[in-house]
Amino acid sequence: MSRNAESTAFRSALEVIRGVEPRVADAIGAELADQRESLKLIASENYASPATLLAMGNWLSDKYAEGTVGRRFYAGCQNVDTVEALAAEHARELFGAAHAYAQPHSGIDANLVAFWAILADRVEAPALRRAQARHVNDLTEADWFTLRRELGDQRMLGMSLDAGGHLTHGFRPNISGKMFDQRSYGTDPATGLVDYDRVAEAAREFRPLVLVAGYSAYPRKVNFRIMREIADSVGATFMVDMAHFAGLVAGRVFTGDFDPVPHAHIVTTTTHKSLRGPRGGLVLCGPELADQVDRGCPMVLGGPLPHVMAAKAVALAEARRPDFADYARRIVDNAQALAEGLLRRGASLVTGGTDNHLVLIDVTGYGLTGRQAEQALLDSGIVTNRNAVPQDPNGAWYTSGIRIGTPALTTRGLGTAEMDTTAELMHTVLSQTSAAANPDGTASKAKYALDPALADKVGRQAGELLAGFPLYPGVQLG
């Protein structure tokens, strides 16, 4: 798409929107301006291409399409079938998966589809066979009692939230923690790394139905071959949530033991983050779980979002191009350069560095909580998010850490030299921010003190850094 065409497309869209609700048009324009001016370091965010963004704003949004390709509960879905089939085809080819399901609206939805597919495969199907029933509703209470006694409780073993896992891996307030009798594995207290022997020990003791691997704040690779061996040793279904690092798998940065697709029974992911697509999810699996996964709608999903599936197809097609592999490599190069720059300036990093796209800073060395550090950085034009560190004394709300990542800045074209500058800007802010006291004199976990002049200076420096790497250069709204 030419730059002139991009500008025309987005200007025209905003003009149409402005004719109905100008405040929405203003907010959309302001979001582009904000993103252009901010040093975006949120590990779970990126910038989708203009083609991907435009694929979401069209008439496919008007269609209900419950069911699957060729088997819809609504008539007139031939065009939805086309885009969903394309999204699944690109996903299969990109990741080397036997089956792909492109309907999940988000990563959490993808995980729910996977959980219920596993339960249907491990619980419903054996029960039907034992009772010689044709449908799960035909099972008697005695059938279920016998089956549960044979299989044991519906148990999940996943990475703990403070060790870098995700809330959908069994966190109690999340639905996953209510669906399963859950236990977590953590990381080695001395190194912050996954201890596979301890995971194996926990699996032998707990005997989970599902072993979950994957993370949202673990800055290292995971050996999925070893994790599959652990799952097999206790008869567990092995599930990997690769939402954060899917782009590194797609770009062949993570291969062999570190590529989850050949090793897991079922893999879930988002399509944004390091994949650089629209907000949505995917499920990948082998033939043995394909039928159950394809029941995601109506099992746990409502009607699919055809316009988002169209955008997934576009983004996945982009990820199959050779330049995406170069992009994925540069994500990791940039993350490691950012980590090294922070370490040289005295920052404390969980695990001492990174193998992937993210870096986790323990900001207690600066005398701050994660919440204080997050806001001080935001005041200075640097967008991050607070995150718990292993055994975090400040809990999941205030936290002791800041999670940063490089997918978005790498999309803009920044390289390792700019990552060192970014480390300097961050260190300047954090080292000059101090915790403030509550009115009663007690230490506050939220209030902080930072010279506004310093924040303004860093913000200008961040803007100067970004000026050489314009965001969406083909889109001019003014």
End-to-end CA distance of the chain: 19
Q: In CATH, what class is 61-319?
A: alpha beta
pLDDT grade for 158, boundaries at 50, 70 and 90 = very high
Separation CA 273–CA 35 (nearest Å): 15
3-state class (DSSP) for residue 238: strand
- Residue 152, pLDDT above cutoff 50: no
Report the mean per-residue pLDDT for the chain.
92
Least confident of 24-33, 235-244, 276-285, 435-444: 435-444
Separation CA 112–CA 164 (nearest Å): 20
Q: Can you give the pLDDT at residue 340?
A: 98
99 contacts 287 by C-beta, under 8 angstroms:
yes
The ranges assigned to domains in the chain are: 61-319, 323-467
List all residues 6 or more positions away from 412 whose beta carbon is below 8 Å from its beta carbon.
Answer: 47, 466, 469, 470, 471
Separation CA 265–CA 141 (nearest Å): 29
416 contacts 334 by C-beta, under 8 angstroms:
yes
Taking every pair of C-alpha atoms in the chain, what is the biggest distance, in angstroms? 75
Q: Can you give the pLDDT at residue 206?
A: 93
pLDDT in tens, 257-277: 999 999 999 999 999 999 999
Separation CA 313–CA 292 (nearest Å): 22
Which residues are part of the catalytic machinery? 64, 66, 241, 270, 273, 279
Q: What is the pTM of this model?
A: 0.91
* Cα angle, residue 349 at apex, residues 343 and 350 outer, rounded to 5°: 155
pLDDT in tens, 111-150: 999 998 998 887 666 655 565 555 555 556 666 555 555 5
- Give the homologous superfamily in CATH for domain 323-467: Aspartate Aminotransferase, domain 1 (3.90.1150.10)
Least confident of 145-159, 197-211, 267-281, 428-442: 145-159
pLDDT grade for 153, boundaries at 50, 70 and 90 = low
